[in-house]
Chains A and B, each alone.
Chain A
């Protein structure tokens, strides 16, 4: 609300990818937020025009280009994509203020309808082959590499009853797979350089890049 206060005409942009499937920033959420913002502004005694548009993907310049015919008619843009989308719009349209409408929290999977939980932290050096397909980086509060800490009780993490102990899950899974020797192996300290420790990361596929 504070962001858009100074403006009379804004463009609210959704994204058809990840934020659509997790019901955070797809076409429907764009409609709901546009309606809600419009009402809140009306109630405050002001007026605003909110245009709605949802792109196929906000993180690819080809799709962001679609906004060109719309952008001149608005004073500011609000994006319902993850931070990648917000930044892509900001990069493409240098003279338009762009605001985020979401807080992107994590890379997760849906446990069941309407429930999402964190599964991957993009550490750049995947351990899942060693840990029975359960990630101790994303799912252990302490990111331990060699078994649980003393706070693990009855399969739960000490931070809360509704958080599974990743290492308890790993142990059960390795047992079921007959791979307990993997548990006994000592994993050395993790190299965090590919996990962001050496600054912003970039991937260049020589065969694709022009």
Chain B
């Protein structure tokens, strides 16, 4: 896969990272268009299934962005999210995907710069790692696989 442009899914908490993305926009900060943002009411809302499905449909990287520790709007959703991300990483390894393709990050709503920085770093990291084997399998003319995956 030449000129590989990774597809990255970012689950962003409404109370921090999503607002930080907005802030990055107001500040006219640029960040890679590879990052597809999905707004969630809390990072704790992100289920293992959401993450795994993203990879199954061909995402090369996924990150969950929640509030800084101690700042969760719902008390401890971000801590739960971090634990969940840790367990999904192990699950991915079991399947045969690199756990590093999944990250948990934290930021506050005011950190527009950090949002852009995280998006850039994640995109660069995944670009270096190359496409996920699932992305490759789906793209590799495996039309049957695509049909099976309902894409």
Contacts and interface: CB of A to CB of B under 8 A. Distances in A.
Contacts of B47: 28
A47 B142 CA distance: 8
A38 B49 contact: no
A49 B95 contact: no
Which interface residue of A28, A39, A43, A50 has the most chain B CB atoms within 10 A? A39
A31 interface: yes
Interface residues of B, number: 22
Interface in A16-53: 28, 31-32, 35-36, 38-40, 42-43, 45, 47-50
A31 B54 CA distance: 13
A61 to B, nearest CB: 30
Interface residues of A, number: 15
B145 A47 contact: yes
Nearest to B146: A47
B94 interface: yes
B95 A39 contact: yes
B49 A35 contact: yes
B55 A39 contact: yes
Given A36-B91, A39-B56, A47 B96 contact: no
B9 to A, nearest CB: 14
A157 to B, nearest CB: 29
A38 B133 CA distance: 12
B8 to A, nearest CB: 17
Contacts of A45: 137
Contacts of B107: none
B19 to A, nearest CB: 29
Contact of B91 (A32, A43, A49, A50): A32
Interface string B127-139: 0000001100110
A32 B48 contact: yes
Given A36-B95, A42-B133, A42-B137, A47 B52 contact: no
B38 interface: no
Nearest to B57: A35
A49 B150 CA distance: 10
Contacts of A38: 56, 148-149
B142 A43 contact: no
Given A35-B53, A49-B148, A43 B95 contact: yes
15 contacts: A35-B53, A36-B91, A39-B52, A39-B55, A39-B96, A39-B134, A42-B133, A42-B142, A42-B145, A43-B96, A43-B133, A43-B137, A47-B145, A48-B148, A49-B148
